[in-house]
Amino acid sequence: MKKIVLITGATAGIGEAIAKLLAKNDYKLIITGRRLERLEELRNSLAADTDIHILNFDIRNETEVENAINSLPAEWKEIDVLINNAGLAVGLNHINDGVIDDWERMIDTNIKGLLYITRFVSPIMVQNKQGHIVNISSIAGKEIYEYGNVYGATKHAVDALSRAIRIDLVKDGIKVTNIAPGMVDTEFSLVRFKGDKKRADKVYSGFTPLFGEDIAETVLFTLQQPAHVNLNDIVIMPTAQAAISVIHRA
């Protein structure tokens, strides 16, 4: 029987790449995000490969998250894998110039959103005495960079939550994997710079960054381990990025 994987933030970047790869590898997918047209396009493009169910909600809204999980038909309820991917960085400022609304968006999405969905999906896994939660953290959850204050704090929180959730759920046979990528060329910087494409493109110029597909391959490898093996924590970087702020550009 195909496993059911719920991917948050499947409308772009890493989440979309994970959906495309898992669809071709015998998983049924619940894809989520705020942009419904993109979810529908993705479902249509993958329909020949697997069954896809759409949940359209804002992960910052606890009620929307709870209603979305409660709305799942019986044949989609028994979620085997939760991929906590939805997230974002907004702005790049020293703390004294920080935009409080940017901070709220990052904290509400990256920490509180991840907590909400984990709160509503993990009881299903506990009931079934099996499951796998994969948290997409970041190298920014391991290291600190100038101007990255609040984004880094949210990703350090994800890193801590991965370890805490693993401890909480070990008795229920549930795996928890933390994946910490370096720079991945997605819509991430476009979102961070509020649509300034020129500024976003600069982030990935002069070296080969990671792509969503690289993280998708890592997720697939993680899911394919035997039942007794859990990959706790994976740091994956572009070859040209030696540390969070050390990038060798041509």
Residues 7-26 that bind ligand 8X3 (CB under 6 A): none
Helical pair 114-128 and 62-70, crossing angle rounded to 10 deg: 30
Site string for ligand NDP, 157-196 (x = CB under 6 A): ------------------------x-xx-xxx--x-----
Examine residue 65 and tell whether it contacts ligand NDP (CB under 6 A).
no
Per CB under 6 A, 50 contacts ligand NDP: no
For ligand NDP, what does the binding mask look like between residues 84 and 103, x meaning CB under 6 A?
Answer: -xxxx---------------
For the record, the structure tokens of 153 come out as 């704090």
Q: Is 148 in the site for ligand 8X3 (CB under 6 A)?
A: yes
Give me the catalytic one of 27, 116, 147, 151. 151
Q: Report what 187 binds from ligand 8X3, ligand NDP, none; CB cut-off 5-8 Å by kind.
A: ligand NDP
Contact 210, 111 (CB under 8 A): no
User: Residue 241 binds which one of ligand NDP, ligand 8X3, none, with CB within 5 to 8 A depending on kind?
Assistant: none
157 contacts ligand 8X3 (rule: CB under 6 A): no
What CA dihedral angle connects 5, 11, 13 and 14, to 10 degrees? -10
- Known active-site residue 151: yes
Instruction: State the nearest-atom distance from the C-beta of 175 to ligand 8X3, in Å.
Output: 23
State yes or no: residue 222 binds ligand NDP (CB under 6 A): no
Q: What is the 3 state secondary structure string of the chain?
A: CCEEEEECCCCCHHHHHHHHHHHCCCEEEEEEECCHHHHHHHHHHHCCCCCEEEEECCCCCHHHHHHHHHCCCHHHHCCCEEEECCCCCCCCCCHHHCCHHHHHHHHHHHHHHHHHHHHHHHHHHHHHCCEEEEEECCHHHCCCCCCCHHHHHHHHHHHHHHHHHHHHHHHHCEEEEEEEECCEECCHHHHHCCCCHHHHHHHCCCCCCEEHHHHHHHHHHHHCCCCCCCCCEEEECCCCEEECCEECCC
Of ligand 8X3, ligand NDP, none, which one sits near residue 14, judging by CB under 5 to 8 A according to partner kind?
ligand NDP
d(CA 74, CA 124) in angstroms, rounded, equals 12
Interacting residue with ligand NDP among 79, 111, 124, 136 (CB under 6 A): 136
The distance of closest approach from Cβ of residue 144 to ligand NDP in the complex, given in angstroms and rounded to an integer, is 14
**Contact window for ligand NDP (CB under 6 A) among 41-49, 58-66, 121-129, 222-230:** 58-66
Annotated active-site positions, please? Answer: 151
Binding interface with ligand 8X3 (CB under 6 A):
89, 138-140, 148, 183, 244
Binding interface with ligand NDP (CB under 6 A):
9-15, 33-35, 58-60, 85-88, 109, 136, 138, 181, 183-184, 186-188, 191
